[in-house]
Amino acid sequence: MTDQTSPADTLQDLRRSIDNIDAALVAILAERFRCTKAVGALKARYGMPPADPARESRQIARLRTLAEEAHLDPDFAEKFLNFIIHEVIRHHEAIARQSSDSANT
């Protein structure tokens, strides 16, 4: 028996899978940012710095290991996490500013 699926159909199926994975990634990132927003609020409330370089280094090392185990380029994984970390720090700084402004009024 021969495979009757055309390359165009196979491509369409693969792209549907990619679209579903992209939707899942967005949902997971949204959940992650909900958690980091709570972390930022806690840090602001207790005067903790927005960034935690030691934690960030541990997370990068951990993600690189996970990437290697998943056969994903660890350099790509590190770049991706660094982007997320910078966004989280930016959000934490904004939360700290808002908290400070509220305390001063």
- Mean pLDDT throughout 34-63? 98
pLDDT at 42: 98
Q: Which residue has the higher pLDDT, 103 or 19?
A: 19
What domains are there in the chain, each with its CATH number? 27-104 (1.20.59.10)
pLDDT of 70-95, one tens digit each?
999 999 999 999 999 999 999 999 99
pLDDT of 1-47, one tens digit each?
456 899 999 999 999 999 999 999 999 999 999 999 999 999 999 99
Residue 104's pLDDT band, with cuts at 50, 70 and 90, is confident
Q: Which of 21, 44, 26, 20 is nearest to 99 (CA)?
A: 44
CA distance 83 to 80: 5
